[in-house]
Structure 1
Amino acid sequence: MKKGPVLNIALSQLIASLGHGDMVVIGDAGLPVPPGVPVIDLALTHGVPRFMQTLTTVLEEMQVERHVLADELADRNLPIAAAIAALDLPGRGSVPHADFKRLTAGARAVVRTGECTPYANIILFAGVVF
């Protein structure tokens, strides 16, 4: 049995297959997924799993070079914005939510959580460990 933090098969395979610059989206339950982008749906019910639980678990296995948030997050969901800021992730960027949704079309996958709070979404860009 796998010992690392990510036990979900599809999520573990995704992280293992990432190359430098590949995008992974972790999104709330309402984030639309563009046609053709695979979805790893972890959502069980409202709030399960939480966005931050999913993000912190993914960060234990994924090397991140930079990340992008929606501009609206800071004003519309302060608890999530503060929790992400506390992680001190590299290379913070932000764009309007409409642009954020367009960017997701280039993602390797969207990881859907059970989070039901606004703008609880992030795009992670894979880094390298060397």
Structure 2
Amino acid sequence: MKKSVLLQSEFSHLIATLGHTDEVTICDAGLPIPSNVKRIDLALTHGVPSFAQTVDVFLKESQIEGVILANEFKQVSPNAHADILSRIKQEEEISGKQIRVTYLSHEDLKIKTNDSKGIVRTGECTPYANVIFQSGVIF
């Protein structure tokens, strides 16, 4: 049995196959998922698993160099937005690497998800709780 944090096999496989600059989206329960992108649906019910829980597991398993968020996230869900920025700052401290944060309109973020290698749907019901992670390297 796998010893690391992430046990969900599809999510684990997605992370294990990431290369430098590959993108992964972690989204709330409502984000439309393009049919051409691998969907990993973790949503069980409202709030389970949460966006924050899923982000935490992802960050423990992977190295990132960039993050893309929707501009609307800052205004509509400021507490959740501050929480993700705090997690990114903590990841910078752990990895010793700077993580670039970019903002797009929500409409442009939805289009950008087409470039993701996979999209992980959570049970989160906080508006605009969506993030695109850009994979980095550990060296």
**TM-superposition CA deviations, 1:12-53 (whole Å, max 9, x none):** 000000000000000000000112101000000000000000
3-state secondary structure, aligned to 1:79: helix
Give the unaligned 5+ runs of structure 1: none
Supply the distance in 2 between the matched residues of 1:39 and 1:66 (Cα, whole angstroms). Answer: 21
Q: Show the counterpart of 2:96.
A: none
Map residues 16-27 of structure 1 onto 2, 5 A cutoff. 16-27=16-27
Alpha-carbon RMSD? 0.7
User: What residue number does 1:56 align with?
Assistant: 56
Number of residues of Structure 1 aligned to a counterpart in Structure 2: 130
Partner amino acid for 2:42?
L
Comparing 80-89 with 5-14, greater Cα deviation is found at 80-89
One-letter amino acid matched to 1:32: P
Q: Secondary structure at the match of 1:29?
A: coil
- Compute the TM-score of the two structures, normalised by the length of structure 2: 0.92
2:53 is aligned with what amino acid? Q
Match of 1:12 in 2: 12
Deviations 1:57-89 (A, max 9, x none): 100011001000000000001121010111215
Deviations 1:98-122 (A, max 9, x none): 0000000010010000001100000
Identity value in percent? 48
What corresponds to 1:84 in structure 2?
84
CA distance in 2, matches of 1:122, 1:2: 26
Task: Could you list the structure 1 runs, at least 4 aligned residues long, displaced by more than 4 angstroms after superposition.
Answer: none
Structure 2 residue 101 is the aligned partner of structure 1 residue 95: no
